[in-house]
């Protein structure tokens, strides 16, 4: 993977609670916006906005299952307002954040991608993201 895109992903993961733009991240990694968007999509198979949204929701799902943070705190830690968080979470996981926390999610972690290997990779990614997020929140 291009080191600039790796750096961009690290920046995204560290800044999930804050507002992010492709323009600011492209500036940070030292390439033009159009080149950044092209490279990012080619190397991650997602647009910048889709990647940020997915990373935020993965973090939120992990926080809901692994912490006792309230829904507002989970929303803030993953870069959402309470209302938009619930709507985005329900759209992605087919369950409300409260239901997900109780273990009644429509897509459970084990079936998101259908393989145990993917589950383990997701779990490791979420743990790293949580640590970064919590260091920014606290």
**CA separation for the pair 124, 134 (Å, rounded):** 15
Q: Which residue's entry shows tokens 């030292």? A: 30
Q: How confident is the model at residue 135 (pLDDT cuts 50, 70, 90)?
A: low
Q: For 47-60, write each residue's pLDDT tens digit.
A: 999 999 999 999 99
Nearest one of 138, 8, 28 to 76, comparing CA atoms? 138
DSSP helix/strand/coil, 134: helix
Domains of the chain: 3-49 (1.10.10.60), 55-137 (1.10.10.60)
User: Would you say residue 117 has pLDDT above 60?
Assistant: no
Q: How confident is the model at residue 111 (pLDDT cuts 50, 70, 90)?
A: very low
Nearest one of 42, 61, 43 to 122, comparing CA atoms? 61
Average pLDDT, the chain: 83
Q: Are 56 and 80 in contact (CB under 8 A)?
A: yes
The CA-based dihedral angle spanning residues 131, 98, 107, 104, taken in that order and rounded to the nearest 10 degrees: 120
Helices (H), the chain: 3-14, 22-29, 33-44, 48-66, 71-77, 82-93, 97-101, 116-137
């Amino acid at each position: 993977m291009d080191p600039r895109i790796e750096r961009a992903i690290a920046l995204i993961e560290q800044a999930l609670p804050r507002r992010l733009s492709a323009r600011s991240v492209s500036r940070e990694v030292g390439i033009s916006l159009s080149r950044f968007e092209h490279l990012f999509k080619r190397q991650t198979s997602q647009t910048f906005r889709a990647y940020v949204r997915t990373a935020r929701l993965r973090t939120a799902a992990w926080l809901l299952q692994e912490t006792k943070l309230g829904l507002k705190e989970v929303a803030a830690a993953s870069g959402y307002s309470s209302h938009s968080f619930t709507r985005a979470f329900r759209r992605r996981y087919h369950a409300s954040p409260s239901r997900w926390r109780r273990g009644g999610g429509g897509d459970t972690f084990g079936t998101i991608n259908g393989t145990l290997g993917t589950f383990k990779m997701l779990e490791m990614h979420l743990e790293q993201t949580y640590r970064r997020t919590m260091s920014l929140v606290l």
